[in-house]
Amino acid sequence: MPSDSLLPRLRFGLIADPQYAPIEPNLTLNRYYAKSLDKLEAAIARLNAEDLDFVVTLGDVIDRDFDNFDRVLDVYGGLRHRTLFLPGNHDFSVAPEHLAKIHDRLGMPSPYHDFVSKGVRVILTDGNEVSLFAPPPGDPRRQEAETRLAALRAAGAANAQTWNAGMSAAQVEWLDGRLKLAEAAGEPAIVMGHYPLAPANDHNLWGAEEVAGVISRSPAALAYFCGHNHAGNYGLLNGTHFVNMKGMVDTADENAFSVVELFDDRLEIHGFGREEDRRLSITSTALLSPVVG
């Protein structure tokens, strides 16, 4: 069956860092937490007008207080598309007794998982796994986080920050395995997470270089999408695009979200509000055969 490069294989929406909370804005950081509900409603109205396969929110759905999920998820209830969430660091700024409930509250089958949509493998990672905030108190991953953070600080790493986090070795191995599965099946792969991996930045995941290497070495991996750095960013490693989407919570009035289209030879990002339009070439030739179904 011949490929028609005029038609996208996959279309999906991306939202990053709504960070809703009914609190006063942080003028220093230019974050207007309470205004995110109106921005989300506007974004959902626009996304509902599109033919999309799914919509992913790349973390920081709320900012503090577990009860804030009720209000913001009520707004997400108006989204007619398949709705997927990745939690970010601010989603765990809740009372300790609620920490173990976050993934269930967001309707996630597990903290990291993948699925296939129209022949494309979509891999959702958990960058909060080893952190000072997501594991419950007493969990050994907190001690691991303290050890890793101390090592990064000793090395003078820019991302040696308490608001960053990392993946376990087991998850990195899982990610590598899912990419190898995609390669064997002839599936293009798109990876998503909360924390940036490339280029170097003070917001990057702990161990970003290793994880970016796993992704960029895979001929299946077309792109990695993330949030966390609200200013946005972009990098290219070995033909894989690393795209950091801008934070919705920033500014009093400007929105930020996007629609992504995957074609045989390119990714097109259609940005709304502060988000940029991008046309990103797919340079891997191994997976450019038509996807059917």
Q: pLDDT band at residue 4, thresholds of 50, 70 and 90?
A: low
Residue-wise pLDDT tens digits, 96-155: 999 999 999 999 999 999 999 999 999 999 999 999 999 999 999 999 999 999 999 999
Q: What pLDDT digit, counting tens, does each position of 215-240 carry?
A: 999 999 999 999 999 999 999 999 99
Mean pLDDT of the chain: 95
Side chain identity at residue 180, one-letter code:
K
Best CA proximity match to 128, nearest among 152, 92, 158 = 92
Neighbours of 85 (CB within 10 A): 22
The pLDDT score that the predictor gives to residue 200 is: 96
The reported pLDDT for the residue numbered 284 is 65
User: What percent of the chain stands above pLDDT 70?
Assistant: 95
Q: Which two tokens stand for residue 190?
A: 């798109």
pTM of the model: 0.95
Where do we find the tokens 């011949």?
Answer: 2
The torsion angles phi and psi of 286, rounded to 5 degrees, stand at -70, -25
- Any idea what DSSP says for residue 167? -
Strand-pair partners of 262: 10, 267
Largest Cα separation within the chain, whole Å, is 56
Q: Band of the pLDDT at 283, cuts 50, 70, 90?
A: confident
